[in-house]
Amino acid sequence: MKNHKNSRRKFLQNSAKLSAGIPLLSACSFKTTPESAPAIVPSDKPMKILILGGTSYLGPHQIAYALQRGHSISTFTRGKTKPTVHKELFDKVESLVGDRNDNLEALKGRKWDVVIDNSGRQVKWTEDTAKLLKDNAEMYLYVSSVSAYYPFSDFGPFDESREVRLTPPEGKAYENNKMTWDYGIMKANSEKRTREIFGEDRSIIIRPHFIVGPGDRTDRFIYWVDRLAKGGEVLLPGADDRRVQYVDVRDLAGFMIRLLEQRVSGIFNGSGPGFEMTVPQFVHGAHAAFNSPVNFVRVKDRDFLKENNVFFLCPWILPNEDVKGMPHTSIEAAVAAGLTYRPLADTIQHLYNWWISDAVPQERRTNLATGENAFQGREAAVIKAWKDQM
């Protein structure tokens, strides 16, 4: 607990430095400026928004943005998942209870201006709610995923005009990676049914990349925030030109609400960070948020990394054939439609503040550092093995 407080103090001191304008990346500058995240002012046309889901990760950030814009919100869930961020806002939210499997009663006979389908995890769920709501809402926003493009077997760019698979392939490729295929195909079919039922001009499809920020229930991106805060010898896997993509949950949430306000239909990737960021740029930029001394140990040898099971340290993934192009999704359409990006420093600061707060159980932090599958627990041994064979 003491260390935890110390690192928080160090971090807060350094935050002050960062806000004084120390540049984060020497090799490239952020395209975004503080003006790209303008103060949120109330909209002159308040909307009634229904969020299917809304209590997990993305939802609370959508709600925070939408309430500031003066909109009113209803959520539809089973009443099981409790928000871990923006909890205080849920007093202002109408909470409807049912089940997307077999109980949509609470949605019947009601009207909303727009619907956001966050929890669309089965094609039938989206089909049923789109059919039920098509005459009772103007627009339907379906939260898909860049996984709709899976497999990423080339370097793209993966833009919205690219054909997506609606059926699984035959044979081993599918059998070996069934879960990933099924998720992408489910998202692609859910998108299709949304557009068929609501009509293309009343549908918005968002395909997010890795969503990062407070409330994340995975430890994928947080791995780096936690690791860089601790400092010391840090294993940095992958080639210098390997790209990194992710999107700050607040940028994504605000983008979605603004599209709905403006009734802009279409398909948009939800990727960032707004320019072509490489692995070294990411780690150096992210580390600039901390005072911890760091010595990066670069390991580019794929065979060594594979042998030592250093594979999935997000936001980048070592380039297996099926995911090598994943950090090459196009951002053009979304940027033209108004997606803005806050700087990496802001994302890291915000996420770390949450990570070390009481909103995250200590057990989760401990597990990331020393749990059974924690890479941090074996990182020093992998570094030693690397040095020994040099």
Binding footprint of ligand NAP on the chain (CB under 6 A) = 53-59, 77-81, 99-101, 118-121, 143, 145, 208, 210-211
Task: Quote the least distance from Cβ 366 to ligand NAP, whole Å.
Answer: 23
Cβ proximity to ligand NAP: between 95 and 177 the closer is 95
Contact 106, 96 (CB under 8 A): yes
Task: Quote the least distance from Cβ 168 to ligand NAP, whole Å.
Answer: 18
Cβ proximity to ligand NAP: between 114 and 211 the closer is 211
Task: Quote the least distance from Cβ 209 to ligand NAP, whole Å.
Answer: 7
Task: Quote the least distance from Cβ 315 to ligand NAP, whole Å.
Answer: 10
Task: Quote the least distance from Cβ 10 to ligand NAP, whole Å.
Answer: 28
Task: Quote the least distance from Cβ 82 to ligand NAP, whole Å.
Answer: 8
Contact 89, 60 (CB under 8 A): yes
- Measure the N-to-C terminal CA separation of the chain; round to a whole number of Å: 38
DSSP structure string for 44-112: SS--EEEEEB-SSSHHHHHHHHHHHTT-EEEEEE-S----SSSGGGGGGSEEEE-BTTTB-GGGTT---
Selection from 75, 72, 360 nearest residue 218 by Cα: 360
Cβ proximity to ligand NAP: between 7 and 77 the closer is 77
Tokens matching residue 268: 């948009």
Describe the strand order of the beta sheet including 203-208 as a list of residue ranges. Answer: 94-97, 72-77, 48-52, 114-117, 139-143, 203-208, 266-270
Task: Quote the least distance from Cβ 32 to ligand NAP, whole Å.
Answer: 21
Cβ proximity to ligand NAP: between 144 and 308 the closer is 144
Cβ proximity to ligand NAP: between 80 and 172 the closer is 80
Contact 299, 310 (CB under 8 A): yes
Contact 348, 225 (CB under 8 A): yes
Cβ proximity to ligand NAP: between 250 and 284 the closer is 250
Q: How far apart are CA 122 and CA 101, in angstroms?
A: 9
Beta carbons within 8 Å of 6's beta carbon, 6+ residues apart: none
Q: How far apart are CA 258 and CA 185, in angstroms?
A: 28
Cβ proximity to ligand NAP: between 143 and 289 the closer is 143
Cβ proximity to ligand NAP: between 197 and 382 the closer is 197
Task: Quote the least distance from Cβ 65 to ligand NAP, whole Å.
Answer: 14
Strands 243-248 and 272-278: antiparallel
